[in-house]
Amino acid sequence: MATERRKRRPRGAAWHWKQTDCWYFTPPGTTQRVPLVDEDGNRVRGKENRKAAELALARIKLQGKWRPTAEPAEQGQWLVVRVCSEYIQHCQQRAASGTASKDYCAEIVRHLNDLCEYCGALPVTQLRKGHVRHWVESHETWRSPATHRNAIGAVLAAFHYAREMYDVPNSLKGLKKPPPRPRLHSLDADEEKVVYQAADEPFRDFVFAAIHTGLRPFCELARLTADDVVETDRGMMWRVYSSKTKKTRKIPVRPEVADLTRRLMETASRGSGTPLFRNTKGRAWKKPTGVGRFLALKRKLGWDRDPVKRRYSCYSCRHTFAHRMLSGYWNGGQGCSIETLAELIGDTPKVAFDHYGREWGQHYQDPLWTAIGLGLKPTMASTAEQTSGENGRNETATAPDRVTPRNSGRHRQRARAAAG
């Protein structure tokens, strides 16, 4: 007669033990049985009191009361803190040599130091995947899947490095990062206009250039200098170096961006090394400053209370550019290809398609509409949101200190009449 397999108690969740009629919690990576108590310090009893037990467990996790207890380590045994320290030194050396960005290094240091506060004294052989999950979930402010992904990615990178360099056993093998979720938030012309009106001139220039070039705000646009500007017979081009991809690309810019660039070069001449886009203190825009300024802007406009607009960020400028390029916003409704967009924004075609093509790629959606017999239809960009200039170029905005994007009701009415 086959024996019944013993039911495995869940790690990190509340469970009821019939023998004592009490609720318990088994910390991840351990076999401990921790009793759950209410706010008065009394054990939670009765199988029907699951909600009370879950509240008690939530208090433990929220207050960070539980930490993995390390057993005495053997001499020469690797601890979690050593793994983190070795990888931090490796990242700092790469940042100093220019093979890794300082922003990436700072993020690694922040996450691994936090992990060490949580379980740094734990021997590597005692570390479990449940420890890492609990560490991430115990942070009240770490709500974004992107933050969880970055934190877990930093830990996995550290243990992979220790495995490759020192043959340290990797007990986290199989731990998965949350899947990436593209944050596709595109500003329309009216929202763009409101941002320009609410922002001061330095930030307005920065946002305007980000929307009209699609550059990564802080590792590309903020580092641009007059030495990166090239004048050609066809117009202005920018030489863009990305600390993220370690590659340089050369992109054309729209006339209104060229006008803005020439104005900024009056106070940041060639050879000075001064960034073109600077904050009110005359310094290059850094990520903390830029993010903080955009958050303040959202509060000023009341966007922090809007379920959609509260998700807007500096990176939404890059998404807006991608959306407009794929929809033909500046080109009479004729959207560009994924390959062209990828070259402009410094991504591979695969990354550009995964992030933007599935959602906004006109070239990839039109065949689907044709296949079901609906054919091609005029896009919003070719009707409502554009007017044609005398030279055949669609002009929706000029330099932000002079003219804001043209998207008036008169233009919409004229476009609807033409479409009708």
258 and 218 housed in the same domain: yes
3-state secondary structure of 134: helix
Q: Is the pLDDT of residue 319 over 50?
A: yes
Phi, psi of 336 (to 5 degrees): -80, 170
395 and 336 housed in the same domain: yes
342 and 291 housed in the same domain: yes
130 and 260 housed in the same domain: no
Residue with tokens 């409704």: 333
Average pLDDT over residues 275-297: 92
261 and 378 housed in the same domain: yes
Q: Is the pLDDT of residue 140 over 80?
A: no
288 and 316 housed in the same domain: yes
Average pLDDT over residues 91-104: 84
Query: Do the Cβ atoms of 209 and 277 come closer than 8 Å?
Result: yes
Q: Is the pLDDT of residue 62 over 90?
A: no
Residues 6+ apart with CB under 8 A from 25: 12, 13, 14, 15, 34, 35, 36, 57, 60, 66
Where does the pLDDT of residue 260 fall: very low under 50, low under 70, confident under 90, or very high at 90 and above?
very high
Q: Is the pLDDT of residue 278 over 90?
A: yes
- Give the pLDDT of residue 53: 84
Domain count, the chain: 3
3-state secondary structure of 118: helix
Closest CA to 195 of 184, 209, 182, 183: 209
284, 318, 332, 344 from 246: Cα distances, Å: 20, 19, 34, 15
Task: Tell me, yes or no, whether 70 lies in a domain.
Answer: no
Alpha helices in 302-419 (DSSP H): 315-327, 338-345, 349-352, 358-360, 362-371, 409-419
Task: Tell me, yes or no, whether 274 lies in a domain.
Answer: yes
Task: Tell me, yes or no, whether 91 lies in a domain.
Answer: yes
Who wins on pLDDT, 180 or 164? 164
Task: Tell me, yes or no, whether 128 lies in a domain.
Answer: yes
Domain extent at residue 208:
190-419
Tell me the range of 55-64, 188-197, 378-387 where mean pLDDT is highest: 188-197
**Quick one: which H or E segment has residue 97?**
helix 80-97
233 and 338 housed in the same domain: yes
87 and 58 housed in the same domain: no
As a whole number of angstroms, the distance between CA 184 and CA 287 comes to: 19
CATH of residue 244's domain is: 1.10.443.10
Q: Is the pLDDT of residue 384 over 50?
A: no
199 and 304 housed in the same domain: yes
- Percent residues over pLDDT 70 in the chain: 77
Q: Is the pLDDT of residue 1 over 60?
A: no
**Quick one: which H or E segment has residue 119?**
helix 102-119
Task: Tell me, yes or no, whether 334 lies in a domain.
Answer: yes
50 and 101 housed in the same domain: no
338 and 393 housed in the same domain: yes
Who wins on pLDDT, 212 or 384? 212
Lowest mean pLDDT among 42-51, 226-235, 300-309: 42-51
